[in-house]
Chains A and B, each alone.
Chain A
Amino acid sequence: DQQVKQNSPSLSVQEGRISILNCDYTNSMFDYFLWYKKYPAEGPTFLISISSIKDKNEDGRFTVFLNKSAKHLSLHIVPSQPGDSAVYFCAAAEYGNKLVFGAGTILRVKS
């Protein structure tokens, strides 16, 4: 049973435009959510997180939105740059418990 789903295996965006990566979850007990970015031959690196008491968290070009009623979160990248091309993983956890990861979305930013 996949508790965290990233339904788009890949996304292609023009440089300078907005990239929107989506993530859905089924466990209503999740209260902490993270996005990781992964380049080929490297480990995932932490990008941004949000706790369930918030609905938005922003860090530079990256903004994460959380819709608890819909059990949905999204990552917005504005403006998108070619260096943003990577695999993006969504992850979620209950307090004090393990991270549960989605399968990832490949983002390609075209120049």
Chain B
Amino acid sequence: SAVISQKPSRDICQRGTSLTIQCQVDSQVTMMFWYRQQPGQSLTLIATANQGSEATYESGFVIDKFPISRPNLTFSTLTVSNMSPEDSSIYLCSGSNRDRVEETQYFGPGTRLLVL
């Protein structure tokens, strides 16, 4: 298994600003992902973070709004740009050492974001 940490754990931001969330894994992982969990809803995949290349975004999510970096096999960042109150959510990072996406992923504790 992998241990995943995220910074910050929570933040309160003003609309129109941007926040960068960091995700650190204690060992190399093949795949890293970013999810969003809006209040009372399920986890929704935002994108797959690809090492050394552009992230792969899911339908409804775009790079301009959620730029992602993954410079190596243990670290990734997600930026929430030009925030609005609708971006208030928990953002989670996950990692997997399996080649198949659907097999077990290990999650970070999440970043709780409130946009005023």
Contact = CB atoms under 8 A, between A and B. Distances in A.
A46 B106 contact: yes
A101 B94 CA distance: 14
A103 B40 contact: yes
A28 to B, nearest CB: 15
Interface string A9-27: 0000000000000000000
Greatest chain A CB density within 10 A among B9, B43, B45 is at B43
Contact of B42 (A45, A89, A98): A89
A45 B100 CA distance: 18
Contacts of B107: 36, 43-45
B61 to A, nearest CB: 12
Sort chain B's interface into a size bin.
20 to 34
Contact of B43 (A32, A42, A101): A101
A99 interface: yes
Contacts of A95: 100, 102
B109 A43 contact: yes
Interface residues of A, number: 24
B92 A96 contact: no
13 contacts: A2-B42, A34-B102, A36-B107, A42-B109, A43-B4, A43-B109, A44-B107, A93-B102, A95-B102, A97-B101, A98-B45, A103-B41, A104-B42
Given A4-B42, A89-B43, A101-B44, 13 more contacts: A34-B104, A42-B109, A43-B107, A43-B109, A46-B105, A46-B106, A49-B103, A49-B104, A95-B102, A96-B102, A97-B102, A98-B101, A99-B45
Interface of A: 2, 4, 32, 34, 36, 41-46, 49, 89, 93-99, 101-104
